[in-house]
Amino acid sequence: MKIAVIGATGMVGEVMLKVLAERKFPVTELIPVASEKSAGSTLHFEGKDYTVVTLQDAVNRAPEIAIFSAGGSVSLEWAPKFAAVGTTVIDNSSAWRMHEDKKLVVPEINGHLLTKADKIIANPNCSTIQLVMVLAPLHKKYGVKRVVVSTYQSITGTGVKAVKQMENERAGIQSDMVYPYPIDLNCLPHCDVFEDNGYTKEEMKLTKETKKILDPNISVTATAVRVPVVGGHSESVNIEFENEPNLGEIRKILHETSGITLQDNPDTNSYPMPRYASGRDEVFVGRIRQDFSQPNTINLWIVADNLRKGAATNAVQIAEIVCKL
C-alpha cells in the first residue's frame, strides 16, 4: 500500500505519521510530500528513511491513498490530479467539505457510506468532529433540535508558528505575531477570518458541517475562541432536544459509544481537560447537567486532542475503511 502524506513536515503531518505507525497501518511505501523548499530532505518513518518529494513527484508515483494536510488552495489544485491517477484522497482542509458530491466523514458516524467511487473524501473541521461524536448518539435517541456551542481552541489548531508565538511571549522574546494580539494570558474570540454575517469562518464551519454530517434540520450557532492551551480543543455545549432527555440514560449512551470516554463525576472532580486529552484519540465528555432555564435541554463539556481525533486519527480511520472497500 503506497501512502502519500501531503504536508508531512507540518504539525498535523507529523502526527499523521505517528498515528499511521501506532495503528499499524499497512504502509509498504511512504511518499512524504512537502513544499518545494523541503523537497530532498529526509524523513524517518518506521525504521526507514524516506526522501521528501514534490506534489508532482507524488502524483507520478500514483499512490493508493493520499492524505492531505497542506491547506485548502493546495487541496483544490492537487486533489483532482491525484484522483485522476486512481488515488483516493483524504483531505484535511476545508476545501471539499461542503461540496455536494463529496462525503464529509467521521468514521464512527457515517463511515459506512463510503464506496470505491469516492476518490476525494473530506475530513471535517477539528471542532466539528468532537462535537458530532457526542451529538450523533444523542440525536438518534432524543432528536437534537438546537445546539449552542462555545469553543476554547488550542493554539496548535493554528500551527507551529502559533506555538512559537506563545513560547516567545512567555520567555519575553519579541517575535513574529501569528495572531493580531498576544495569546499568552489572553483569549481571542477570533478563530479564522470574519465573514459578512459577523461570524468567523470557524464558527460557520461548526454550523454547516454539523448539519451536513448529522441532519440539515439541526440549528447550530457557535462562538469560537482561541485560548493559550496546547493539549486540545474544549467546547461548552447547550443542546435542546425534540424529546425530553434523561440524564442517566444520556450518560449510559455516551459511556457505551465507541470513541467516547465519559468523565462526569463532580464528587471526585472528574471532568475532561485538554491537558489530559493531549495525545489521546478519544473524545472526552462530562459536566452533563439539565438546563433549568428551558425544557428538553442539557449542558455538557467536550474535550479532544485537535491534532489527533480532530485531524490525523480521523483521517487514518477513513483510510482504514478505504483499504477494506
CA gap 225, 217 in Å, rounded: 25
**Catalytic choice (99, 112, 126, 139):** 126
Q: Provide the 10 A C-beta neighbour count for residue 318.
A: 25
> Does the pLDDT of residue 281 top 90, yes or no?
yes
Angle at 69 between CA 63 and CA 72, to 5 degrees: 110
Angle at 153 between CA 151 and CA 155, to 5 degrees: 165
CA gap 311, 129 in Å, rounded: 9
Quote the CATH superfamily of domain 127-307: Dihydrodipicolinate Reductase; domain 2 (3.30.360.10)
Residue 302: band (very low, low, confident or very high) from pLDDT cuts 50, 70, 90: very high
> What's the pLDDT tens digit per position in 116-158?
999 999 999 999 999 999 999 999 999 999 999 999 999 999 9
Burial label for 243, CB within 10 Å (0-12, 13-18, 19+), is exposed
> Does the pLDDT of residue 38 top 90, yes or no?
no
Is 126 in the active site? Answer: yes
CA gap 223, 198 in Å, rounded: 11
Average pLDDT of the residues in 195-213: 98
- As a CATH number, domain 2-124+311-324 is 3.40.50.720
CA gap 298, 73 in Å, rounded: 39
Question: What is the rounded average pLDDT for all residues in the chain?
Answer: 97
Structural domain boundaries in the chain: 2-124+311-324, 127-307
Average pLDDT of the residues in 71-99: 97
- pLDDT at residue 39, as a whole number: 86
- pLDDT at residue 205, as a whole number: 98
Among candidate residues 186, 184, 204, the one with its CA nearest the CA of residue 127: 204
**Catalytic choice (99, 139, 233, 255):** 233
> What's the pLDDT tens digit per position in 269-279?
999 999 999 99
Residue 260: band (very low, low, confident or very high) from pLDDT cuts 50, 70, 90: very high
